[in-house]
Amino acid sequence: MSADIGKPGPVHSHFEEWDEIREQCPAFWNDIDGGGHWVLTRFDSIRHALQEHGTFSNESTIISDPDPAYKMIPTFLDPPEHGKYRQLYNARFSPAMVERVSDFARQACNEAIDAFIGSGRCDLIEDFADPYPTKVFL
């Protein structure tokens, strides 16, 4: 089966199509400009791909930039290097740590939204998605 899930459409318009594709096959080829890529649709297949670094690599995970000049660490690393960085990050994302920063994260979220809510619009990336996690995590 071949599909183009990258075509534009209204918000939430692709869910029905994705549900249908997932029911028909566990994987499909998605045609996009510049080549295409395989899409896994089932949890077990996705888990297998994430755990089987001998077959599947994290060297590049950005479809539109398959050979980037940069490396996002640890996302673009395969084991064993990936694990070394994950150990450093794991403590910062433990349930206890998340609970400890939850009040601050909520406050930072409200402040970020307050900065643009009066205008009735925002650029989601510029006004929220870039500054908010940076403020919370750093």
Query: How far is the C-alpha of 43 from the C-alpha of 40, rounded, in Å?
Result: 8
pLDDT tens per residue, range 8-24? 778 777 888 888 888 88
Calculate mean pLDDT across residues 119-133: 94
pLDDT tens per residue, range 24-76? 888 888 777 667 788 899 999 999 988 888 888 888 777 777 788 888 888 88
Give me the helices (H) in the chain, please: 15-24, 43-51, 81-90, 95-117, 131-137
Residue for token pair 């694990």: 83
Q: What is the pTM assigned to this prediction?
A: 0.56
